Amino acid sequence: MLILGIETSCDETAASVVMDGKKILSNVIATQTEWHKKFGGIVPEIASRKHIELINPVIREALNKAKIDLDNLSGIAVTFGPGLVGSLLVGIETAKAISYAKRLPLLAINHLEGHIYAVGLKKDIEFPAVSLIVSGGHTELVYIENYGNYELLGRTRDDAAGEAFDKISVMLNLGYPGGPIIDRLSKKGNKKALNLPLAKMKKGQFDFSFSGLKTAVINYLKKGTEIPIPDLVASFQEAVVKSLVEKTIKAARVKHVKYIILCGGVAANSRLREKMQEEAEKREMKVYFPHKILCTDNAAMIAGLGYLKLKNKELANYTLNACPNLKLG
Ligand code: KG4
Ligand code: ZN
């Protein structure tokens, strides 16, 4: 079965064709970074307008690369939330139009569930598991019984982890998006140069907070103390990673699970991957990571999950609307 996936929840216009939920025949991602970076973050109005310009050429390219046309498809999967409402609507209305014109089943996908499925695209995941979904818009810790069965354990109370990377990077004039830049620079820095404070949560609490950490970096810079930038960002990254890894491992222990799924854009971070792996191995837990290209937003994860929804006959109809605050569970 061939599913066309469409993803426009944030600032990537993406389309992909996936066969039987596993085999990626095409994975086209048009990034809008160029238009947003001078603002140091995503401008929702620009994102919606760019999606409108890019959506048709991106879909056409995804079909061409997969060497198929719309008549070969078994279904259309589209992200309907969470995300920016104007951006989501472009993908949803496009998917509905194709579904109606070609009489194809419409499959509505939760973006966060898509990120989790990005790991399952390459190999079968074992459940039950705890998943850390970390991106520019999300930091959520979720218990997963199996696909479709989720319990939210904790989330960020302020900035998402990726957002903290992006803001620190812009503040230091390093560029946007900050995650990959800080990841690269940190390799040359001393991660123990600064001991930055982390928010303390009540016992048994799995929520995160990164705004205090961001303020600590700002205050440190205001003092005018000289510190090499690689040392500063490596210390910042280490503090974020420590908080993410400690809570994920703790959640896995509390829920008595052996499997951890790390996903979302920040899952591409090399230090986060390394530390999560190290700490999990000590406790005989197994960590699943997506392939790096499948960490950040893409439509292959949407098409892949669409196959499962189609198999389970979970079909959407033409009243489908954008759900900017859609949750898991
Ligand atoms: O999943 P994604 O493409 O979009 C959202 O759904 O938000 O994630 C983008 C986020 C950005 O904040 C970016 O800085 C971060 O992922 N990111 C990273 C790395 N690569 C991307 N953060 C840390 N280290 C990386 N290597
Ligand atoms: Zn995402």
Tens of pLDDT, residue by residue over 201-227, are 777 789 999 999 989 998 888 887 788
- Going along the chain from its start, the domains and CATH numbers come out as 2-116+294-311 (3.30.420.40), 125-289 (3.30.420.40)
Half-sphere CA count of 132, side-chain side, radius 13 A: 32
Ligand 1 pocket (Cβ < 6 Å) reads 10, 135-137, 162, 165-166, 177-180, 183, 264-266, 268-269, 296-297
In ligand 1, which atom is closest to the CA atom of 270? 26
Which residues fall within 8 angstroms of residue 128, CB to CB, at 6 or more apart? 143, 144, 145, 146, 255, 257, 259
Strands (E), the chain: 2-7, 12-19, 23-31, 75-81, 106-110, 129-134, 139-146, 149-155, 259-263, 286-288
Amino acid at 10: C
Atom in ligand 1 nearest the alpha carbon of residue 162: 12
Q: What is the pLDDT of residue 294?
A: 96
Tell me which residues have their CB within 5 A of the ion that is ligand 2: 135, 297
User: What does the pLDDT read at residue 9?
Assistant: 97
Residue nearest to atom 10 of ligand 1 (CA): 136
Nearest ligand (C-alpha, residue 296): 1
Ranges of the chain whose pLDDT falls below 50: none
User: According to the model, what pLDDT value does residue 218 have?
Assistant: 86
pLDDT for the residue numbered 37 = 83
Q: Of all protein residues, whose CA lies closest to atom 18 belonging to ligand 1?
A: 179
The rounded Å distance from CA 68 to ligand 1 centre is 31
Q: 52, exposed or middle or buried, with CB in 10 Å at 0-12, 13-18, 19+? A: middle
What value does the CA radius of gyration of the chain take, rounded to a whole number of Å? 20
Yes or no: say if 267 and 134 are a contact pair by the CB < 8 Å rule: yes
Q: What is the pLDDT of residue 34?
A: 87
Return the ligand 1 atom nearest residue 9 CA. Answer: 6
Whole-prediction pTM value? 0.94
The ligand whose atoms approach the alpha carbon of 163 most closely is 1
